[in-house]
């Protein structure tokens, strides 16, 4: 191994080996108070206490000191809409009115490639500034909106999944495609982008109400032809939406069953929200290997409901956290974790700090079926990681003086932290964002 390509990152290092659960099982995490993460050519090649790792390598190995900062895997956002950046924090509506008043008008701008690219660039820079190195992203109905987000992600060498939104009814005409063009455009885009760099294609029917039977069938056909792609949609977010789906699809047993019948429930299918499901839905989702994106800031902001994490994990369903911006109110996963804790409190559940970390790293990677490449510091994985500082505000600094254990420290960091706590983000071992 050529010493000049090796970089040792030294700091406090924490990552998950499994789901620590509500009880914060210490065996599900690995922590080194003075650790070294050794990176070579963008991959993790060694990890352990500095005292035992460093002596194994030549004395002239490049050493990056993170000086007491906490080094964790890059965070993963399992559900976000990049075109909705400009309508974040729009007041007053629940889902269906919010879509009509704010979302559809802003998305109609993305037929303009220049606009799409400039929003995509801003969006990805904001993700990195917030410590997010991977995301599963909605574009708009316009193919050029997908080209824009993929081009911007490729430039940053980010692992990112996205897709063209499919919507052929119950929305403004200017935003409608049709079943045939949805299939053709999606196929063309996935053949162009999937597997380029670190990019993944996601077949993206917006949600059942805006997709005809023919369009859902076309999406299902594509999902069967390209099993390595993701499927990304919304499910059972809002009570009025669920009632509407029951009216539109009288032959389906449930909202999830609409997708199941169309062939859209499979491994690598990611469903945002999943708030109003019945027992059979949980069983079906688990059996198929589908995943849920839990989007707490959005669920509170749009008044949609409370996610049942204990039930989902009880069924061993893959779950990751999503910001769901513009329905969500922060692009930061720290804020998102802290709101997840509060949602679960209202459901008489709790969220340990270790499990919160799992839901934005390894658990999220499992939800996206990317855990062979990202999510923790297993040897051979991509070196996507971030560093967090403990003194980003006077209050955080003061509170942490009274923290006794790692779980408590991490909990305080999550509850009080935001983008100011992110010192740096590394993508494939390269510095992609630095606060300094």
Residues that bind Zn ion (CB under 5 A): 272, 324
The least distance separating ligand GUN from the CB of residue 302, rounded to whole angstroms, comes to 6
Q: How many residues does the chain have?
A: 436
DSSP per-residue string spanning 53-80: HGGGS-TT-EEEEEEEEEEEEPEEEEEE
- Cβ atoms of 282 and 317 within 8 Å: the answer is yes
Q: In what order do the strands lie in the sheet with 43-49?
A: 43-49, 29-40, 6-16, 62-73, 385-388, 422-427, 430-434
CB of residue 319 to ligand GUN, shortest distance in Å = 17
Closest separation in Å from C-beta 324 to Zn ion:
4
Q: Which is nearer to ligand GUN, 141 or 388 (CB)?
A: 141
380 alpha-carbon distance from chain centroid = 22
With 0-12 CB in 10 A as exposed, 13-18 as middle and 19+ as buried, what is 17?
middle
Residue 371 interacts with, from Zn ion, ligand GUN, none (CB under 5-8 Å by kind): none
Please say which residue, 138 or 183, places its beta carbon nearer to Zn ion.
138
Which residues are within 8 A (CB) of 369 and not within 5 positions of it... i.e. 6 or more apart? 230, 267, 268
268 binds, among Zn ion, ligand GUN, none (CB under 5 to 8 A by kind): none
Among Zn ion, ligand GUN, none, what does residue 322 contact (CB within 5–8 Å per kind)? none
Please, what's the largest Cα pairwise distance for the chain? Answer: 70
- Cβ atoms of residues 268 and 320 within 8 Å: no
Minimal distance in Å, beta carbon 81 to ligand GUN? 5
Output Rg (C-alpha) for the chain, integer angstroms.
21
- Provide, rounded to whole angstroms, the least separation between the CB of residue 419 and ligand GUN: 22
* Alpha-carbon distances, residue 387 vs 11, 130, 410 (angstroms): 9, 11, 13
CB of residue 326 to ligand GUN, shortest distance in Å = 7
- Residue 91 CB, nearest distance to ligand GUN (Å)? 15
DSSP H stretches of helix in 204-332: 213-225, 239-248, 255-261, 279-288, 296-301, 309-314
Query: d(Cα 241, Cα 233) in Å, to the nearest integer?
Result: 14
Closest to ligand GUN by CB, 20 vs 305, is 305
Give me 412's structure tokens: 């305080």
Q: Is 425 helix (H, G, I), strand (E, B) or coil?
A: strand
206 binds, among ligand GUN, Zn ion, none (CB under 5 to 8 A by kind): ligand GUN
User: Quick one: 77 or 177, whose CB is closer to Zn ion?
Assistant: 77
Give the nearer residue to ligand GUN in terms of CB position, either 103 or 215: 103
- Measured from the CB atom, the residue of 323 and 387 that comes closer to ligand GUN is 323
Q: Which stretches of the chain bind ligand GUN, using CB under 6 A?
A: 81, 95, 99, 103, 206-207, 234, 237, 298, 324, 327
Rounded to the nearest whole angstrom, what is the least distance from the CB of residue 297 to Zn ion in the complex? Answer: 12
Partner whose footprint covers residue 428, from ligand GUN, Zn ion, none (CB < 5 to 8 Å by kind): none
Rounded to a whole number of angstroms, the minimum distance from the CB of residue 23 to Zn ion is 31
Q: Which is nearer to Zn ion, 7 or 265 (CB)?
A: 265
Question: Phi-psi bin for 298: left (phi > 0), alpha (psi -120 to 50), beta?
Answer: alpha
Q: Taking Cα atoms as reference points, which of 72, 76, 75, 61 lies closest to residue 35?
A: 72
Which runs of E-coded beta strand occur in 74-184?
Answer: 75-81, 132-138, 159-163, 165-166
Considering CB distances under 5 to 8 angstroms, the limit depending on partner class, which of ligand GUN, Zn ion, none binds residue 381?
Answer: none
Query: Measured from the CB atom, is 69 or 238 closer to ligand GUN?
Result: 238
Of all residues in the shown chain, the one whose CB is closest to ligand GUN is 327
- Quote the crossing angle between the two packed helices 143-155 and 179-193, to the nearest 10°: 20
Per partner kind, with CB cut-offs from 5 to 8 A, the member of ligand GUN, Zn ion, none near residue 207 is: ligand GUN
In angstroms, give the least distance from the CB of 271 to ligand GUN: 11
User: Would you say 177 or 324 has its CB closer to Zn ion?
Assistant: 324
Q: Which is nearer to ligand GUN, 105 or 197 (CB)?
A: 105
- Segment holding 119, helix H or strand E: helix 113-129
């Amino acid at each position: 191994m050529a010493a000049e390509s090796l970089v040792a990152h030294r700091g406090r290092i924490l990552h998950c080996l499994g789901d620590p659960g509500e009880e914060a099982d210490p065996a599900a995490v690995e922590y080194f108070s003075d650790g070294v993460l050794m990176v070579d050519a963008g991959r993790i090649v060694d990890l352990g206490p500095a005292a035992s790792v460093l002596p194994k390598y030549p004395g002239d190995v490049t050493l990056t000191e993170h000086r007491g900062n906490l080094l964790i895997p890059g965070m993963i956002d399992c559900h976000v809409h990049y075109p909705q950046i400009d309508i974040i924090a729009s007041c007053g509506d629940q889902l269906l009115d919010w879509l009509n008043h704010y979302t559809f008008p802003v998305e109609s701008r993305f037929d303009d490639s220049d606009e799409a690219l400039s929003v995509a660039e801003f969006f990805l820079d904001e993700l990195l500034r917030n410590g997010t190195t991977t995301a599963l992203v909605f574009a708009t109905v316009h193919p050029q909106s997908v080209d824009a987000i993929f081009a911007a992600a490729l430039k940053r060498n980010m692992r990112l999944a996205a897709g063209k939104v499919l919507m052929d009814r119950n929305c403004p005409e200017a935003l409608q495609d049709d079943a045939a063009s949805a299939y053709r455009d999606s196929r063309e885009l996935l053949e162009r982008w999937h597997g380029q760099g670190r990019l993944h294609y996601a077949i993206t029917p917006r949600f059942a109400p805006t997709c005809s039977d023919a369009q859902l069938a076309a999406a299902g056909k594509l999902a069967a032809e390209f099993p390595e792609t993701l499927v990304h949609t919304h499910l059972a977010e809002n009570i009025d939406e669920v009632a509407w789906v029951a009216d539109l699809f009288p032959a389906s047993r449930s909202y999830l069953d609409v997708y199941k019948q169309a062939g859209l429930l499979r491994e690598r299918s990611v469903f945002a929200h999943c708030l109003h499901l019945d027992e059979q839905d949980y069983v079906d989702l688990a059996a198929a290997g589908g995943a849920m994106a839990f989007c707490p800031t959005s669920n509170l902001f749009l008044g949609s409901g409370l996610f049942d994490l204990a039930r989902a994990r009880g069924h061993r369903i893959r779950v990751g956290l999503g910001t769901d911006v513009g329905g969500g109110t922060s692009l930061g996963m720290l804020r998102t974790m802290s709101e997840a804790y509060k949602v679960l409190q209202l459901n008489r559940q709790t969220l340990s700090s270790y499990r919160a970390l799992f839901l934005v790293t390894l658990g999220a990677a499992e939800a996206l079926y990317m855990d062979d490449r990202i999510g923790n510091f297993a040897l051979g994985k991509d070196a996507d990681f971030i560093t967090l500082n403990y003194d980003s505000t006077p209050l955080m600094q003061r509170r942490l003086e009274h923290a006794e254990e790692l779980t408590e420290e991490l909990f305080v960091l999550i509850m009080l932290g935001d983008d100011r706590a992110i010192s740096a983000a590394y993508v494939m071992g390269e510095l992609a964002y630095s606060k300094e």
